[in-house]
Structure 1
Amino acid sequence: MFKFHYRLERSALGLVGFIILVASIGGFIEIAPLFTIDETVEEAQDMRVYTPLEVAGRNIFIREGCYACHSQMIRTLRDEVDRYGPYSLAVESQYDHPQLWGSKRTGPDLARLGNKYSDAWHTTHLNNPRDLVPQSKMPAYRWLLRDQLRTDDLGQHLATLRTVGVPYTDDQIANATQDAYGQANPDSPEAGGVAERYGDATNIRPFDGQTDKLTDMDALVAYLQVLGNLTNAAHETQTAEVE
Structure 2
Amino acid sequence: MIHWLQKLYYPIQAGHYRLEKHPIGLTLAIILAASIGGFVEIAPLFTIDETVEDAPDMRLYTPLEQAGRDIYVREGCYLCHSQMIRTLADEVDRYGPYSLAVESKYDHPMLWGSKRTGPDIARLGGKYSDAWHVAHLIDPRAVVPASVMPHYAFLADAPLETASLPGRLTALRRVGVPYSDEMIANAERDATGQARPDSDDAEGAVARYGEATQVRLFDGQPGLVTEMDALVAYLQILGQLTDVATRIETAAIDADEEA
TM-score, scaled to structure 2: 0.91
Match of 1:225 among 213, 226, 236: 236
Aligned to 1:47: 58
**Offset at residue 98 of structure 1 (A):** 0.9
Aligned to 1:158: 169
Aligned to 2:134: 123
Match of 1:135 among 117, 136, 146: 146
**Offset at residue 201 of structure 1 (A):** 1.6
**Offset at residue 188 of structure 1 (A):** 0.6
Match of 1:202 among 199, 213, 216: 213
Aligned to 1:107: 118
**Offset at residue 199 of structure 1 (A):** 1.3
* 1:225 alignment partner, SS class: helix
* 1:53 alignment partner, SS class: helix
Aligned to 2:89: 78
Q: Which moved more, 1:149-158 or 1:36-45?
A: 36-45
TM-score, scaled to structure 1: 0.97
Q: Which has a greater percent of helix?
A: 2
Larger Rg: 2
Match of 2:73 among 62, 65, 84: 62
* 1:20 alignment partner, SS class: helix
**Offset at residue 38 of structure 1 (A):** 2.0
Unaligned runs of 5+ in 2: 1-10, 255-259
Aligned to 2:46: 35
Match of 1:236 among 242, 247, 255: 247
Distance between the aligned counterparts of 1:189 and 1:233, measured in 2? 33
Aligned to 1:171: 182
**Offset at residue 43 of structure 1 (A):** 1.0
Identity of aligned residues (%): 66
**Offset at residue 156 of structure 1 (A):** 1.2
Matched to 1:86, the amino acid is P
Matched to 1:119, the amino acid is D
* 1:17 alignment partner, SS class: helix
Matched to 2:39, the amino acid is F
Matched to 1:89, the amino acid is L
Unaligned runs of 5+ in 1: none
Matched to 2:86, the amino acid is R
Count the aligned residue pairs. 243
Deviations along 1:176-215, one digit per CA (max 9) or x if unpaired, are 0000000000011110111111112211001011111011
Aligned to 1:8: 19
